[in-house]
C-alpha cells in the first residue's frame, strides 16, 4: 500500500525569515483584538453577566413579536428574544442590570436581595411565556444566575487562565531555560488575546465553556511549542556551529509532518463536534477549532522565532544538557 | 527495548482488561446489574444533569442571621436575668442592653456596686452553648460600669457550620421526604448548598419549597387592639401586628408576641380534605410537650380567637370551640390541594435555621438532554472513525497498531471514569472527542521519528527502537503541559469546565500509556517475529 505523504521529503520552509512579517501580523491583530474588546466588547453569557436565560420549545412556530411584547410588558429592563436552531424554539434573555440596580446599595445584603429579585423575575418571565404561548410549551433550558455567583465566576475564570500560564512558564523554565519559558508564554498571550478578540468580533457568547476552550487552546499550543523546543534543543547539541535561525528552521521542518498530522486528527474530531455535536456545543467546538489553528501558528511563528530575540545559551547549562540527553 | 518481560506484558494487558471490566457495567441495564453477584463491579459513569435533564440550584445560607438571632436571644436573657427572682435582687441598668452591628452586646449598670454581680449573671448565661466543653462561646469584659459580651470566632464558626448542616437536613426533608429520589444535596464552602435533582421536574416548584423558612407558631389574639391603630404605632408592649394570608381574606391582626406552642412541637402533618367545608386542610399531631401545652391553653381560653402563624403570616385564626386535648388538630382555611400539601411539608420538615437564597439556578429539560446525548455520540463515533481512517492511510500497518492502542485508550478512559463514579457532562463528551484527536499525537511523534531513522539508513528494528526512545522526552513534556491545563481547570473550574477537565486529564494520562506501551508491544511483537528487511512507513 502506498502511504500518504503529507509533505515532500526535504521540505525547507524558511519560518524564521518570516518572523518580522509574523511580528507585524501579531501586532496588528493585537491592536484589532483590543479595539474589538473595547467596542463592541464581549458578548458575555449568563454565567458572567448574571441574569435569566430561558429556552422554550413550542408545538408550533413562535411569533417572536408577540413574545417580545409580553416580556416587554413586565418592565424588567433590557431583554432579547431570539430563535434558537428551529422556528419553534426560542431563547429569552433578560439582562439583570435593572433588577439588580433596583435593589440599590452594595455589599452582601444587597447581593442576596438582588439574587431573590432575579429569581422572582424569572418566575414572572415563565408565567408570561405560558400565558402568551399556551400551557403546552416545554422549558428546555432555564438558567438564572444571580450577581453573587457571576462575580465569583469571572474571578475564577481569569484566575484559571493566569494560573495555567504561570504553571507552563515554570515547567518550561525547569525543563529548558528561562528564555524558552518566556517564548512559550509569548505564544500563550498571543493565543489568548486573539481568541478573545475573535469572540468579540463574532459576538459569540462568552461563558464558562469559553474559559475551558481558551485553556484547551493554551494547552495545545504549548504542547506544539514544546515539541519544537525539544527538537531545537536536540539539534543544538547535534549542530554546535549552525546559526540559530537556520537551526530553528531545520527543527521546525523536521517536525512539520507531525505538526500537520496531529493538527489534522485534532481538527477532524473537532469538526465532527462542530457538525454533529449539537447546538449547545457548537460555539465551544468552533472556538477550539479556530484556537488550534491560531495555536499552531503561534508555535511556528511566534514562540520558536522568539528564541532568536532572546538568544539561547549554546553551551547550555548542565541541566538542559542532561535533560536533552535523557531518552 | 522492543522486548517486554512477561510481568510487563502482564501489567499492560492487565490494565486494558481491568478497564474493560470496569467499563462493562455501563452497557448493562440497571435492573440486570442488581441481579449480578457482589464481586462484579457495579459503579458506572453517571450522566450529568445536562444529559439526563434535571435541576441544579445553588443556595446561599444566611449564617450571619443565625448568629444575630443567637445574640438577640442572649441579649433578652441578660435583660431578664437583671430582674428580681427568688433570692436574687434587681440590678438596675442604664437603659436596655444594646446589640450593635459588630455583634457586641453592651450592658450598662447604673450602680457601680452591682457590676460584679451583674457580670456574674452575664457569665452564667453565656457559659455553655455549643462549645461548652472546650471553650467559652462568649467573651465577657468589664470596663467600669459597662459589661461587653462578644461571641468568639470559633463559636461563630460552629453556629454557622451547624446552621449549614441543619439547613441541608431540612432541604432534604422538603425535597425528598421519602428519601427515594436520586437527589444530591451537598454543602459547598461554609455557607452554600448545592441541590441537584435529576429528571424532568419543575424548578419553580423546588424553589417554592426551599425559599420559605417554615417557622410555625400558635399565638393568642388581642382583639382589643384595632389593627389600623396598631399600624399607626399604637401597639401595646409584647404585642405584634401580623398580616393575614390572602386565603384568610387579607388584612392584619394583633397577636401576643409570646407563642403558646411552636412548630418544633409538631410531630406529624399531612394535607387532607376539609372535613366540614370547602377546600383542603392540614391535619397535625403534637408531641407530648406540645399536646400538654395546647390542651392547657385551649382549656383556659374557650371562646377566644387564636392565630396560627407561618412565616410571619396568619394562615388560620379559628375560635376555640372546646378544649382540644387529643394532641392533634387541624388548620382549616380555604387552601388549594397544592397549598395544603406544601404547608404540610413545611411544617413536617421543620424550620430552616436561616433563610436560603437561590443564587444560581440551571435546569435542563429531559428532551434537550436526550438530544445532547445523541449528538455527542454521533460526534464521538464519527470523529473516531475519521481518525482511524486517517491513521491507516498515513502510517499503514503502524497506523493499525496506533488505532488498536486508541481503542484500548477509550476503554481505559471509560473504565477509569466508571471506577471513580464520575459524572459525564456534555463538555465531558467534548473532552473525550478532543482526546481521541490528540491521543494519536504520541504515536505520530514516534512514527515520524522512526521514519527519520529509516531515512538515515537504520534497519527497521533499530529504527523503531530509536524512534520510541528519542520521541519520549517530547511526548512527556508536551503531554505534561496539556495535563497541566486540565489540572488547572479541575482546580479552579466550576460546573461544565470541571466535567471537561476530568475527561481531558484522564484522557491525557491514559493516551500516553496506550500510545507508548500498547503500540510498542504490537509493533515490537511483529518486528521481532517477522524480522522484515524493510517496513512501509
> pLDDT by residue (tens digit) across B149-162?
998 888 888 888 88
Interface membership of A232 toward B (CB under 8 Å): no
Q: Backbone phi, then psi, for B394, in 5-degree steps?
A: -85, -40
Interface membership of B482 toward A (CB under 8 Å): yes
Q: Which residues of A touch B379 (CB under 8 A)?
A: 269, 272-273, 275-278, 281
Q: Which residue do the cell numbers 501579531 mark?
A: A26
Residue A157 pLDDT exceeds 70: yes
Task: Say yes or no for a CB contact (<8 Å) between A273 and B440.
Answer: no
Residue B300 pLDDT exceeds 70: yes
Q: Backbone phi, then psi, for B165, in 5-degree steps?
A: -60, -45
pLDDT for residue B416: 92
pLDDT band for position B207 (50/70/90)? confident
Q: How far apart are CA B76 and CA B68, in angstroms?
A: 12
First to last CA, chain B: 20
pLDDT in tens, A304-319: 888 888 888 775 444 4
**A320's grid cell:** 538542559
Q: Backbone phi, then psi, for B63, in 5-degree steps?
A: -70, -25
**Counting one residue from A and one from B, how many pairs have CB atoms under 8 Å apart?**
265
Nearest CA in chain A to B438: A266
pLDDT for residue B399: 93
Average pLDDT for residues B186-197, to the nearest whole number? 90
pLDDT for residue A320: 45
CA distances from B180 to B173, B177, B186, B207, B314 (A): 11, 8, 17, 20, 33
% of chain A with per-residue pLDDT over 70: 91
Q: Which residue do the cell numbers 433578652 mark?
A: B76
Q: Which residues of B touch A212 (CB under 8 A)?
A: 427, 489, 493, 496-497, 500-501
Residue A96 pLDDT exceeds 50: yes
Residue B508 pLDDT exceeds 80: yes
What letters, b where the CB count within 10 A reaches 16 and e where it falls short, cover B243-277?
A: ebbeebeeeebbbbeebbbbbebbbebebeebeee
Looking at residue B250, what DSSP letter applies? S
pLDDT for residue A106: 47
B469: preceding bond cis by omega (within 30 degrees): no
Residue B3 pLDDT exceeds 90: no
Q: How far apart are CA B364 and CA A74, in angstroms?
A: 24
Q: Which residues of A touch B537 (CB under 8 A)?
A: 3
Q: Which residues of A touch B361 (CB under 8 A)?
A: 119, 122, 142-145
Q: Find all residues with CB under 8 Å of B22, minimum gap 6, and list them.
A: B41, B43, B414, B415, B416, B418, B419
**B138's grid cell:** 462568649
Interface membership of A191 toward B (CB under 8 Å): no
pLDDT for residue B392: 93
Q: How far apart are CA B248 and CA B258, in angstroms?
A: 22
pLDDT band for position B388 (50/70/90)? very high
Q: Which residue do the cell numbers 481547570 mark?
A: B489
Mutate one of B430, B447, B465 to test the A interface: name it (highest A CB count within 10 A).
B430
pLDDT band for position A90 (50/70/90)? very high
pLDDT for residue A327: 41
Q: How far apart are CA B107 and CA B118, in angstroms?
A: 9
Task: Say yes or no for a CB contact (<8 Å) between B379 and A273.
Answer: yes
Query: For A99-108, B169-178, B461-470, which range has the lowest pLDDT when averaged over its residues?
Result: A99-108
Interface membership of B502 toward A (CB under 8 Å): no
Interface of B with A in 352-381 (CB under 8 A): 357-365, 367-368, 371-372, 374-376, 378-380
Interface of A with B in 76-105 (CB under 8 A): none
Q: How far apart are CA A55 and CA A69, in angstroms?
A: 17
pLDDT band for position B371 (50/70/90)? confident
User: pLDDT: is B324 or B179 the higher one?
Assistant: B324
ipTM: 0.83
Task: Say yes or no for a CB contact (<8 Å) between A216 and B372.
Answer: no
Query: For A142-146, B168-172, B211-215, which range has the lowest pLDDT when averaged over its residues?
Result: B211-215
Residue B62 pLDDT exceeds 70: yes
Average pLDDT for residues A132-147, to the nearest whole number? 88
Residue A1 pLDDT exceeds 80: no
Nearest CA in chain B to A156: B492
Q: How far apart are CA A137 and CA A58, in angstroms?
A: 5
Instruction: Check: CB of residue B447 under 8 Å from CB of residue B466.
Output: no
Looking at residue B212, what DSSP letter applies? -
- Measured in angstroms, the CA of A311 and the nearest CA of chain B are apart by 21
Interface membership of A171 toward B (CB under 8 Å): yes
Residue A248 pLDDT exceeds 90: yes
Average pLDDT for residues A113-134, to the nearest whole number? 88
Task: Say yes or no for a CB contact (<8 Å) between A9 and B455.
Answer: yes
Mean pLDDT of the residues in chain B: 86
pLDDT in tens, B493-502: 777 778 888 8
pLDDT for residue A100: 64
Q: Residues, chain A, total?
A: 327
Residue B334 pLDDT exceeds 80: no
Q: How far apart are CA B211 and CA B190, in angstroms?
A: 19
B257: number of CA atoms within 13 Å, CB side?
A: 6
pLDDT for residue A325: 43
pLDDT in tens, B88-104: 888 888 888 888 888 89
What letters, b where the CB count within 10 A reaches 16 and e where it falls short, cover B456-467?
A: eebbbbebbbbb
Q: How far apart are CA B264 and CA A85, in angstroms?
A: 52
Q: Which residue do the cell numbers 408570561 mark?
A: A128
Residue B200: exposure state from Cβ atoms within 10 A (0-12, 13-18, ≥19): middle
Instruction: Check: CB of residue B372 under 8 Å from CB of residue A280.
Output: yes
Instruction: Check: CB of residue A52 under 8 Å from CB of residue A121.
Output: yes
Helices (H) and strands (E) in chain B, counts: 15, 18
pLDDT for residue A109: 59
Residue B175 pLDDT exceeds 90: no
- Measured in angstroms, the CA of A61 and the nearest CA of chain B are apart by 18
Nearest to A262 by CA among A233, A214, A308, A226: A226
Interface membership of B426 toward A (CB under 8 Å): yes
pLDDT for residue B139: 87
Residue B262 pLDDT exceeds 90: no
Looking at residue A4, what DSSP letter applies? P
Could you give the 3-state DSSP secondary structure of residue A106?
Answer: coil
Query: For B30-39, B319-328, B399-408, B522-531, which range has the lowest pLDDT when averaged over its residues?
Result: B30-39
Query: For A90-104, A256-270, B430-444, B477-491, which range has the lowest pLDDT when averaged over its residues?
Result: A90-104
For chain A, the C-alpha Rg in angstroms (whole number) is 25
pLDDT for residue B224: 86
Could you give the 3-state DSSP secondary structure of residue B204?
Answer: helix
Looking at residue B395, what DSSP letter applies? H
% of chain B with per-residue pLDDT over 70: 98
Facing residue for A141 by CB, picked from B357, B364, B384: B364
Residue B240 pLDDT exceeds 80: yes
Q: How far apart are CA A68 and CA A80, in angstroms?
A: 8
pTM for the predicted model, two decimal places: 0.78
Q: Which residues of B touch A229 (CB under 8 A)?
A: 477
Strands in B239-243's sheet, in edge-to-edge order, are B239-243, B252-262, B216-221, B306-310, B314-316
Facing residue for A230 by CB, picked from B394, B455, B474: B474
pLDDT for residue A152: 82
Task: Say yes or no for a CB contact (<8 Å) between A277 and B204.
Answer: no
**B19's grid cell:** 478497564
**B365's grid cell:** 429539560
Q: How far is CA B61 from the centre of its chain?
A: 12
Instruction: Check: CB of residue B71 under 8 Å from CB of residue B104.
Output: no
Q: Which residues of B touch A230 (CB under 8 A)?
A: 473-474, 477-478
Q: Find all residues with CB under 8 Å of B93, minimum gap 6, and list them.
A: B79, B82, B107, B108, B109, B110, B118
pLDDT band for position A8 (50/70/90)? confident
Taking residue A258's Cβ as centre, other Cβ atoms within 10 Å add up to 24
Q: How far apart are CA B356 and CA A313, in angstroms?
A: 61
Mutate one of B398, B492, B508, B512 to test the A interface: name it (highest A CB count within 10 A).
B492
Q: Backbone phi, then psi, for A258, in 5-degree steps?
A: -60, -45
Looking at residue A39, what DSSP letter applies? T
Instruction: Check: CB of residue B161 under 8 Å from CB of residue B338.
Output: no
Taking residue B46's Cβ as centre, other Cβ atoms within 10 Å add up to 17
Residue B133 pLDDT exceeds 60: no
Q: How far apart are CA A276 and CA B379, in angstroms?
A: 5
Residue A103 pLDDT exceeds 60: no
Q: How far apart are CA B123 and CA B111, in angstroms?
A: 19
Q: Which residues of B touch A280 (CB under 8 A)?
A: 50, 368, 372, 426
pLDDT for residue B41: 81
What letters, b where the CB count within 10 A reaches 16 and e where it falls short, cover B80-90?
A: ebbeeeeeeee
Residue A29 pLDDT exceeds 80: yes
pLDDT for residue B135: 60
% of chain B with per-residue pLDDT over 90: 23
**B264's grid cell:** 418544633
Interface of B with A in 53-72 (CB under 8 A): 58, 60, 62, 64
Nearest to A249 by CA among A13, A10, A9, A21: A13
Amino acid at each position: 500500500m502506498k502511504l500518504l505523504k503529507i509533505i515532500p521529503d526535504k521540505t525547507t520552509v524558511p519560518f524564521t525569515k518570516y518572523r518580522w512579517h509574523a511580528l507585524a501580523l501579531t501586532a496588528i491583530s493585537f491592536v484589532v483584538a483590543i479595539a474589538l474588546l473595547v467596542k463592541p466588547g464581549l458578548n458575555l453569557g449568563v454565567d458572567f453577566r448574571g441574569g435569566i436565560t430561558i429556552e422554550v420549545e413550542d408545538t408550533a412556530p413562535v411569533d417572536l413579536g408577540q413574545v417580545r411584547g409580553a416580556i416587554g410588558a413586565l418592565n424588567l429592563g433590557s431583554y432579547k428574544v431570539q430563535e434558537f436552531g428551529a422556528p419553534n424554539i426560542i431563547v429569552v434573555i433578560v439582562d439583570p442590570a435593572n433588577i439588580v440596580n433596583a435593589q440599590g446599595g452594595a455589599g452582601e445584603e444587597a447581593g442576596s436581595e438582588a439574587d431573590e429579585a432575579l429569581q422572582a423575575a424569572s418566575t414572572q418571565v415563565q408565567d408570561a411565556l405560558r400565558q402568551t404561548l399556551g400551557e403546552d410549551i416545554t422549558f428546555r433550558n432555564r438558567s438564572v444566575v444571580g450577581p453573587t455567583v457571576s462575580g465569583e465566576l469571572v474571578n475564577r475564570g481569569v484566575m484559571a487562565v493566569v494560573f495555567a500560564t504561570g504553571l507552563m512558564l515554570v515547567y518550561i523554565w525547569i525543563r529548558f531555560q528561562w528564555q524558552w519559558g518566556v517564548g512559550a508564554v509569548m505564544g500563550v498571550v498571543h493565543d489568548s488575546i486573539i481568541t478573545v478578540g475573535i469572540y468579540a468580533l463574532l459576538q459569540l457568547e462568552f461563558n464558562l465553556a469559553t474559559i475551558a476552550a481558551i485553556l484547551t487552546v493554551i494547552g495545545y499550543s504549548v504542547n506544539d511549542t514544546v515539541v519544537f523546543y525539544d527538537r531545537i534543543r536536540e539539534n543544538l547539541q547535534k549542530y554546535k556551529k549552525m546559526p540559530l535561525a537556520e537551526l530553528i528552521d531545520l527543527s521546525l521542518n523536521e517536525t512539520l509532518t507531525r505538526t500537520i498530522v496531529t493538527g489534522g486528527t485534532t481538527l477532524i474530531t473537532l469538526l465532527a463536534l462542530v457538525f454533529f455535536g449539537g447546538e449547545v456545543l457548537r460555539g465551544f467546538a468552533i472556538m477550539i477549532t479556530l484556537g488550534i489553528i491560531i495555536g499552531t501558528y503561534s508555535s511556528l511563528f511566534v514562540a520558536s522565532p522568539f528564541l532568536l530575540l532572546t538568544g539561547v545559551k549554546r553551551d547550555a547549562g548542565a541541566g538542559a544538557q542532561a535533560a536533552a540527553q535523557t531518552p | 527495548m522492543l522486548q517486554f518481560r512477561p510481568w510487563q506484558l502482564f501489567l499492560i494487558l492487565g490494565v486494558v482488561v481491568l478497564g474493560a471490566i470496569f467499563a462493562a457495567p455501563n452497557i448493562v441495564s440497571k435492573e440486570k446489574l442488581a441481579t449480578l453477584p457482589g464481586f462484579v463491579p457495579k459503579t458506572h459513569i453517571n450522566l450529568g444533569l445536562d444529559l439526563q435533564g434535571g435541576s441544579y440550584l445553588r443556595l446561599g445560607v444566611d449564617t450571619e442571621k443565625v448568629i444575630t438571632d443567637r445574640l438577640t436571644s442572649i441579649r433578652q436573657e441578660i435583660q431578664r436575668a437583671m430582674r428580681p427572682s427568688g433570692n436574687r435582687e434587681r440590678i438596675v441598668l442604664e437603659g436596655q442592653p444594646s446589640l450593635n452591628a459588630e455583634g457586641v452586646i453592651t450592658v450598662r449598670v447604673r450602680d457601680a456596686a452591682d457590676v460584679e454581680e451583674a457580670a456574674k449573671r452575664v457569665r452564667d448565661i453565656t457559659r455553655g452553648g455549643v462549645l461548652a466543653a472546650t471553650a467559652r462561646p462568649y467573651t465577657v469584659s468589664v470596663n467600669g460600669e459597662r459589661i461587653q459580651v462578644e461571641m468568639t470566632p470559633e463559636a461563630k464558626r460552629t453556629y454557622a457550620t451547624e446552621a449549614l448542616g441543619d439547613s441541608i437536613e431540612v432541604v432534604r426533608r422538603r425535597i425528598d421526604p421519602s428519601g427515594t429520589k436520586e437527589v444530591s444535596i451537598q454543602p459547598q464552602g461554609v455557607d452554600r448548598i448545592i441541590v441537584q435533582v435529576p429528571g424532568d421536574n419543575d424548578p419553580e416548584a423546588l424553589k417554592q419549597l426551599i425559599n420559605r423558612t417554615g417557622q410555625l407558631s400558635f399565638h393568642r389574639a388581642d382583639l382589643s387592639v384595632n389593627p389600623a391603630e396598631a399600624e399607626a404605632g399604637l401597639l401595646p408592649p409584647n404585642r405584634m401586628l401580623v398580616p393575614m394570608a390572602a386565603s384568610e381574606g387579607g388584612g392584619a391582626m394583633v397577636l401576643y408576641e409570646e407563642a403558646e406552642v411552636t412548630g418544633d412541637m409538631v410531630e406529624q402533618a399531612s394535607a387532607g380534605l376539609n372535613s366540614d367545608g370547602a377546600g383542603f386542610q392540614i391535619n397535625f399531631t403534637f408531641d407530648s410537650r406540645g399536646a400538654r401545652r395546647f390542651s392547657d391553653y385551649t382549656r383556659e381560653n374557650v371562646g377566644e380567637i387564636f392565630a396560627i402563624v407561618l412565616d410571619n403570616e396568619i394562615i388560620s385564626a379559628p375560635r376555640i370551640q372546646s378544649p382540644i386535648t387529643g394532641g392533634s388538630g387541624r388548620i382549616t382555611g380555604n387552601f388549594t390541594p397544592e397549598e395544603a400539601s406544601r404547608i404540610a411539608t413545611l411544617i413536617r420538615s421543620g424550620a430552616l435555621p436561616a433563610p436560603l437564597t437561590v443564587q444560581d439556578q440551571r435546569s435542563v429539560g429531559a428532551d434537550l438532554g436526550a438530544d445532547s446525548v445523541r449528538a455527542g455520540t454521533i460526534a464521538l463515533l464519527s470523529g473516531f472513525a475519521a481518525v482511524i481512517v486517517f491513521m491507516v492511510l498515513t502510517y499503514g500497518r503502524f497506523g493499525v497498531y496506533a488505532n488498536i492502542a486508541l481503542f484500548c485508550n477509550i476503554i481505559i478512559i471509560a473504565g477509569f471514569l466508571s471506577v471513580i463514579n464520575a459524572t459525564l457532562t456534555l463538555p465531558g463528551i467534548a473532552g473525550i472527542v478532543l482526546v481521541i484527536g490528540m491521543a494519536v499525537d504520541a504515536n505520530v511523534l514516534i512514527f515520524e521519528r522512526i521514519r527519520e531513522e529509516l531515512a538515515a539508513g537504520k534497519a527497521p528494528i533499530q529504527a523503531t527502537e530509536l524512534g520510541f526512545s528519542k520521541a519520549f522526552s517530547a511526548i512527556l513534556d508536551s503531554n505534561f503541559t496539556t495535563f497541566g491545563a486540565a489540572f488547572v481547570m479541575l482546580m479552579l473550574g466550576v460546573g461544565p469546565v470541571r466535567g471537561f477537565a476530568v475527561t481531558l486529564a484522564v484522557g491525557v494520562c491514559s493516551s500516553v500509556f496506550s500510545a507508548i506501551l500498547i503500540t510498542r508491544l504490537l509493533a515490537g511483537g511483529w518486528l521481532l517475529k517477522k524480522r522484515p528487511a524493510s517496513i512501509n512507513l
